[in-house]
Amino acid sequence: MIITYKLVIFLIIVFVLLWLFIRTIDERKWLTLLLTIIFTPIVYFYLFYPLLNIFSSYHHEKHFNAEQWIEKPNLRYEMADEMIKNKLLIGKTKAEIETLLGNYEWLTWDETLKAKSQKKWNYNLGFVPGAFNNMQECIELNFNNEQVIAIRRYQMKKEFE
């Protein structure tokens, strides 16, 4: 898990709210502090975070890991931001991309060729958690001379049967 400023702010909010709540039960500061420190991660991950995901698209981010990318395709969105922001794939060859991400999942249609283009590989990132989210996250890798020159993140509507 990557520690972002949003994560720190949310943890501080939960900590302060718990501190205020526990102080209404007992006035001893050492006990209040101890209980607040113990219960903050529990309340955050089992109460606050699930509610936050229902009403917003906030999610934790993870460092890119090729094994996790292949093993857990529905959680790829957690790694995509770092991968795009740090340009981890720019300049890599098609063989290196296949080693890291696996074989492409689909190719982009090219109107000029009237066929699918081998220069644009697409990967599914899964669905970002949220109650009203029906958009599937995807990335498109653009190749030139067998090397990645650009990464584009986009969403596509997923129809459920």
How far, in Å, CA of 142 to CA of 139, rounded?
Answer: 10
pTM equals 0.65
**pLDDT for res 133:** 73
Same-domain status, 73 and 142: yes
Percentage with pLDDT > 90 across the chain: 28
149 and 73 share one domain? yes
d(CA 95, CA 106): 16
If one counts the domains in the chain, the total is 2
- Asked which of 39-43, 64-68, 146-150, 154-158 is least confident by mean pLDDT, the reply is 154-158
Q: Is residue 61 part of a domain?
A: no
Q: Are residues 73 and 138 in the same domain?
A: yes
- Which residues in 1-158 belong to E strands, given as ranges? 106-110, 115-127, 135-144, 147-157
Residues 71 and 50 in one domain: no
My answer on whether 45 and 104 are in the same domain is: no
pLDDT of residue 1: 66
86 and 120 belong to one structural domain: yes
Residues 131, 54: contact at Cβ < 8 Å?
yes
* pLDDT above 70 for 57: no
Residue 161: which pLDDT band, with cuts at 50, 70 and 90? low
> Angle 5-25/29-43 helices, nearest 10 degrees?
130
What is the reported pLDDT for 65?
87
Residue 115 forms part of a structural domain: yes
Segments forming the whole domain that contains residue 44: 5-55
